[in-house]
């Protein structure tokens, strides 16, 4: 369908890219990265080896997404539940891995014009990690290409609770609670993701068929693509296969045909 292949894609990625319609790329892709533990177990390695290998998958996916001009990519890195249910040694390892990833990756993010953002209750993360996160965000804040959002200590239900609290606070500072007006746009404006359009496509690796408390409001109309690939084996190529599958589907948004109802309803946010 497409002859002009963006620079930097390898041969296999270029092959899939030629089958894509560049006018119909998803603007925002969200990914539930899953299967690091199973990947490691199959190799008789400790779970943390799966997380380490997961970083290579993150790097490849981010770079390919930026190269094919996806506007926004959101990665579910740590859920709020992760902290409570995993051994402290694994959580500590994940924190160090994140810190090292940020330190190592900022120059590549800048080279690829990628801006870094975070969603989740950041204030509950270790102080040194928060500082590293703030540094990396600031260091990439002038980039105008893809927005890479890392969901860290994230829970969709907590996000909704925080949004409702934020609406009430805003109303009390603006003439009192009796002026509180709640509609869908108001809720969306108070979500952590207020700077993003809703995802068009959500990818989950390792074959699980759950949303696991991820972007529950924002994924209302998203296409869901589940791949059996475990996260450490995921690469830009698998992302593009997900996009190819997305483009085969007809999106109706509750209407009768493409373009009805909510089509392109990203409320004029940062990405056109």
Q: What is the rounded CA–CA span in Å between residue 263 and residue 266?
A: 8
- The answer to the question of residue 58 lying near ligand FPP (CB under 6 A) is yes
- The answer to the question of residue 49 lying near ligand FPP (CB under 6 A) is no
- Between the alpha carbon of residue 199 and those of residues 87, 144, 194, the distances in Å are 32, 19, 12
Window 217 to 256, contacts with ligand FPP (CB under 6 A): 231
- Which position among 65, 98, 147, 203 is part of the footprint of ligand FPP (CB under 6 A)? 98
DSSP state of 6: P
- Which position among 26, 30, 48, 54 is part of the footprint of ligand FPP (CB under 6 A)? 54
Q: Do 150 and 118 form a contact (C-beta atoms < 8 A)? A: yes
- Between the alpha carbon of residue 197 and those of residues 18, 179, 215, 238, the distances in Å are 26, 27, 12, 23
Please say which residue, 95 or 167, places its beta carbon nearer to ligand FPP.
95
Q: How far is the CB of 74 from ligand FPP (least distance, A)?
A: 11
- The answer to the question of residue 37 lying near ligand FPP (CB under 6 A) is yes
For residue 20, report the phi and psi dihedrals to the nearest 5 degrees. -90, 155
Opening angle at CA 212, ends 210 and 214, nearest 5:
115
- Which position among 28, 51, 71, 235 is part of the footprint of ligand FPP (CB under 6 A)? 51
Catalytic residue among 34, 112, 153, 198: 34
Window 133 to 172, contacts with ligand FPP (CB under 6 A): 150
Query: 162 an active-site residue?
Result: no
- Which residue bears the tokens 């690469």? 235
Choose one: 27-35, 112-120, 210-218, 243-251; the region binding ligand FPP (CB under 6 A): 27-35
Q: Do 205 and 32 form a contact (C-beta atoms < 8 A)? A: yes
Choose one: 23-31, 48-56, 65-73, 239-247; the region binding ligand FPP (CB under 6 A): 48-56
Considering only CA atoms, give the Rg of the chain: 19
HEC readout, 228-265: CCCHHHCCHHHHHHHHHHHHHCCCCCCCCCCCCCCCCC
Q: How far is the CB of 233 from ligand FPP (least distance, A)?
A: 12
Cβ atoms within 10 Å of 74's Cβ, excluding its own:
25
Q: How far is the CB of 221 from ligand FPP (least distance, A)?
A: 25
- Which position among 55, 91, 139, 170 is part of the footprint of ligand FPP (CB under 6 A)? 55
Per-residue string for binding with ligand FPP, 170-209, x by CB under 6 A? ----------------------------------------
Query: 153 an active-site residue?
Result: no
Please say which residue, 81 or 185, places its beta carbon nearer to ligand FPP.
81
Cβ atoms within 10 Å of 85's Cβ, excluding its own:
10
Structure-derived torsion over alpha carbons of residues 252, 253, 254, 257, reported in degrees to the nearest 10: -30
Q: How far is the CB of 150 from ligand FPP (least distance, A)?
A: 5
Catalytic residue annotation = 34, 82
Which residues of this chain interact with ligand FPP, rule CB under 6 A? 33-38, 51, 54-55, 58, 75, 77, 82, 97-98, 101, 150, 231
């Amino acid at each position: 369908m497409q002859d002009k292949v963006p620079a930097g894609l390898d041969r296999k990625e270029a092959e899939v890219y030629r089958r894509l319609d560049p006018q119909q790329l998803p603007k925002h892709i969200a990914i539930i990265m899953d299967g690091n533990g199973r990947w490691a177990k199959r190799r008789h390695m400790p779970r943390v080896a799966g997380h380490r290998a997961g970083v290579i998958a993150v790097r490849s996916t981010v770079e390919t997404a930026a190269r094919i001009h996806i506007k926004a990519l959101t990665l579910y890195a740590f859920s709020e539940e992760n902290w409570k249910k995993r051994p402290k040694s694994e959580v500590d390892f994940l924190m160090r891995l994140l810190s090292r990833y940020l330190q190592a990756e900022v120059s590549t993010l800048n080279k690829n014009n990628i801006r870094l953002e975070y969603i989740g209750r950041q204030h509950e993360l270790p102080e040194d990690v928060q500082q590293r996160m703030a540094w990396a965000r600031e260091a990439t804040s002038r980039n105008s290409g893809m927005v890479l959002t890392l969901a860290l200590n994230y829970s969709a239900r907590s996000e909704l609770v925080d949004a409702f609290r934020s609406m009430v606070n805003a109303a009390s500072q603006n003439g009192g609670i009796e002026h509180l007006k709640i509609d869908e746009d108001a809720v969306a404006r108070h979500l952590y993701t207020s700077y993003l359009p809703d995802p068009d496509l959500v990818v989950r690796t390792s074959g699980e068929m759950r949303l696991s408390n991820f972007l529950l409001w924002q994924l209302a109309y998203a296409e869901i693509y589940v791949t059996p690939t475990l996260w450490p084996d995921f690469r830009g190529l698998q992302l593009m296969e997900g996009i190819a599958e997305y483009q085969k589907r007809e999106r109706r948004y509750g209407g009768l045909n493409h373009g009805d109802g909510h089509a392109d309803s990203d409320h004029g946010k940062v990405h056109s």
